[in-house]
Chain A
Amino acid sequence: MDEKQRINQILSGDTSAFGYFVDTYQEMAMAIAFRICQNKEEAEDIAQNAFVKAFKNLHTFKIKSKFSTWFYRIVYNTAQTQMRKSVYKTEFVASKHEELNEQTDDHAVAGIPSEEQEKLIDRAMAKIPNSEAVVLTLFYLEENSIKEVAEIMGLTTSNVKVKLHRGRKNLAEAIKKEGS
């Protein structure tokens, strides 16, 4: 059964069919939310609220569109709203990055165990602007196109390209610093 058939099933009243979408998209929802709030519990909260919102507004989903794009936009907007309301906002203070040294150490993560690499990436992602972290997550984790990333984040494709380019640079720099 494809996603469109499942959506029709849910709209006909079979709530349990929504479980498929929770199973399929929960990890990505967490990843997007985590990139914005930098807290696992809060990311879970955001992801949960996003799923509930998606269910309530499923009747507005255009069946010809891609569900993942529509849903990730909800996650992104929910995360942004929750962060604006959050008392303990952590502001990213843009640090002045030196001109990228083209000869960055390509072996910054070589030899580090896989589990450590995950933590390294999380720490490095936390050091770059949230919007760049989200762009990188959407582009590489789920392999969304530039156009899809732009649609999810409400940006133009040019903006996404710029953020992707800057994000790669900043993340590589952050990984190098964390790894050393």
Chain B
Amino acid sequence: MKEDELKDLIKKSKLKPAEGFKDRVMHQIEMEKALTPNREKIKKSRFPETSFAIFGIMYGLIFATGFFLHLRTQENLLDSSLFLKLTILIAAISGVYYLISVFDDSLGSGKLRTR
């Protein structure tokens, strides 16, 4: 049997699915999509970028405070109680902000659930 003849014969054997096949497929897809739990749609954590920003700003503020105080008082910053108090204040505020970020990230990624 010639190849062309065989090819023509095989081409005649294409099968048509029953009526409504496409509707059934799309319906099944929509159903499965609707039943997919939201748990699977986990947000990508932006925690590394946030941490870098918080600590970067903290050290930036401490450096700026120290530089400003040194210019004004011309004394050793480590002996200055004002500088130490300001440093502790900046670190405390940054620490609280860091904790809030950790909590928010945990909520967003689904690791921590609240009712």
Contacts and interface: CB of A to CB of B under 8 A. Distances in A.
Contact of B13 (A26, A52, A141): A141
A106 B16 contact: no
B24 interface: yes
A175 B6 CA distance: 10
Give chain A's interface residue range (CB within 8 Å of chain B).
Answer: 35 or more
Given A56-B32, A106-B5, A48 B12 contact: no
Contacts of A111: none
**Interface of chain A, main secondary structure:** helix
Give chain B's interface residue range (CB within 8 Å of chain A).
Answer: 20 to 34
B99 interface: no
Contacts, number: 87
A123 B81 CA distance: 97
Interface in B1-59: 1-3, 5-7, 9-18, 21-22, 24-26, 28-30, 32-33
A141 B15 contact: no
Interface string A111-146: 000100110111001000000000011001100000
